Amino acid sequence: MIITDIEKLKVKSEDANEDEVKKILDELDLALKLSGERGVPGIGLSAPQIGINKKIAIIRIGNMKIDLVNCEITKKFDKILFSEGCLSLPGKTCEVERAKQIIVTNNELGSHKALCAYGITSVCIQHEMDHWDGILMLDREVKKQKIIGPNQPCPCGKLDQKGKPKKYKKCCGRKNNG
């Protein structure tokens, strides 16, 4: 069963030992499969999401299978804004800034010793590994800046000579436009 209690998801994970890896990977595969059968499909799942605070996660995108165990991201390249969802936060999505490409190393107990991931695979790996540190996508959400039109009241709150809010173009907007 996938955990949805945010407080339980905020706990940091420990390294997994070799004896427990296969069992946890099997449990993750089953939980991800059952979630999809219940109409909530996903492409990744981390052990903390099923109540096991170990550094293990799986990524299943089409025919690609990646097992992550006690690894770390050692390099990040470029940035993208990505709309993420999470099986532990059903129905919630948010914009998160992630590295477009990553290199993951020290994955000796997983399916790859080192790997380079790009695009959605990179985003998914970062998301699942965040769970190991008790970090949720909500913690990384990028708040959209409100766009202020030139004739809207300036957000600084200054008033004109008549006591009305100054228009942005005649206040802070002027400063920002040279």
Grade residue 168 by pLDDT with cuts at 50, 70 and 90. Answer: confident
Task: Kindly report, residue by residue over 58-88, the tens digit of the pLDDT.
Answer: 999 999 999 999 999 999 999 999 999 999 9
Sequence ranges of the domains in the chain = 6-140
What is the spatial distance between Cα 10 and Cα 13, in angstroms, rounded to a whole number? 9
How many CA atoms are closer than 13 Å to the CA of 25, on its beta-carbon side?
Answer: 19
pLDDT at 13: 98
Given the residues 18, 84, 128, 141, select the one marked as catalytic: 128
For the stretch 146-156, pLDDT in tens is: 677 788 888 78
The question of whether 128 is a catalytic residue gets the answer yes
**150 vs 7, 31, 160, 173, CA distance in Å?**
43, 52, 15, 7
Label residue 103 exposed, middle or buried (CB < 10 Å: 0-12, 13-18, 19+).
middle
Q: CA-CA distance, 135 to 46, in Å (whole number)?
A: 12
Of residues 167 and 60, more confidence is placed in 60
Note the CATH number of domain 6-140: 3.90.45.10
Residue 111, pLDDT score: 67
Predicted TM-score of the model (pTM)? 0.80
